[in-house]
Structure 1
């Protein structure tokens, strides 16, 4: 037998060996087995329904969403709630400011005027939170927008849990109040600081500042 014939024989033997080794991998194993598909018919159960009701005491995966208002922002009447369903505390507002600065300010700006960083990069300017249409919206509306998205804004439900959505909604309301609060509602100490800044601004423009009573 020549060397060429010997090489061909070895090649054929190797090919046969590979096929023999690969043959077991072609078995279906558990692929072809008795099973049911969701909502399909099944002869195993008397009612012929493959989908079975959960057994008594079954706990849903994730959070138990028994509080509809907290998880949707919608009341029994089907409208957005006007009252915050959690306690309004300083800690809540601080948390809301932190989350707002992370997730909202790139588009809406740090003060909610719609002049965030994306606008400086040429993207469309979102509406200001200080326009009448948004100032009159109930607080549940802002929770729903964070949850579901609105217009070009995508849903943030995956990034922001419900508790943080309410914190953000509360902080948005605080931003709105900060831009439209009557001067007489400002604490006396802060009012004096505001008057001082206004006087300095008026003086910088070259005119004498009128008395505070006259400006009110």
Structure 2
């Protein structure tokens, strides 16, 4: 019976030690923290690389080979991210223009037809003019797919019969 008061006192002491992260002091992102002698936001150590940054950089720097799968993916991504402004045909008559926003340049403009693929990739990544950056929304592989689809759109309006391979041209010429 003499152990009962000791057990009750120990149980009361242990119940009082239930402090966890819920009752710790919280600092706002830009507030000062006495522990760090400055802002709560800490710089990462030098020469650190965020997870998947190397892989993302490799994909961004390597243009994939043109394929039907790449164009199909580009068409889907273009429809999601680009057509609201640029329109389904890339002529700059998307739904936002109908709602009063500025009209983007048509992809069929001579200046954009002469631009290299890296230019389109960089504009998707960093934005340009009224267009904001899509770097956080569109991964690099999908950006290259969109660039390939933009080139297909440009070719669809400005192609000549000489651009068609000889065997396919014969089929076109012999069709009724």
- What's the CA shift for 1:134? 0.4
Kept after mapping to 2: 8 A contact 1:183/1:191: no
Alignment of 1:56-135 (within 5 A): 60-65=49-54, 70-71=59-60, 85-135=63-113
Alignment: residue pair count: 144
Q: Given the superposition, is the C-alpha separation of residues 189 and 117 from structure 1 closer, same or farther in structure 2, using an over 3 Å criterion?
A: farther
Give me the whole-angstrom Cα distance separating, in 2, the residues matched to 1:189 and 1:108: 34
Match of residue 201 from structure 1: none
- What's the CA shift for 1:189? 6.6
Give me the whole-angstrom Cα distance separating, in 2, the residues matched to 1:51 and 1:135: 42
Higher relative contact order (CA 8 A, sep 6+): 2
- What's the CA shift for 1:60? 3.0
Give the structure-1-normalised TM-score.
Answer: 0.55
Do structure 1's residue 166 and structure 2's residue 144 form an aligned pair?
A: yes
Please list every run of 5 or more consecutive structure 2 residues that lacks an aligned counterpart in the other structure: 1-23, 27-32
Match of residue 35 from structure 2: 35
Match of residue 133 from structure 2: 155
- Render the CA deviation track for 1:138-190: whole Å, top value 9, x for unaligned: 10110111111100011111111111011101111111111111123233377
Q: Max radius of gyration: which structure?
A: 1
- What's the CA shift for 1:59? 6.8
Please list every run of 5 or more consecutive structure 1 residues that lacks an aligned counterpart in the other structure: 1-28, 40-49, 74-83, 197-216
Give me the whole-angstrom Cα distance separating, in 1, the residues matched to 2:106 and 2:35: 55
Kept after mapping to 1: 8 A contact 2:90/2:106: yes
Alignment of 1:137-216 (within 5 A): 137-186=115-164, 187-188=168-169, 191-192=172-173
Could you list the structure 1 runs, at least 4 aligned residues long, displaced by more than 6 angstroms after superposition.
Answer: none
Give the structure-2-normalised TM-score.
Answer: 0.67
CA RMSD, 1 decimal: 3.4
Give me the whole-angstrom Cα distance separating, in 2, the residues matched to 1:169 and 1:64: 21
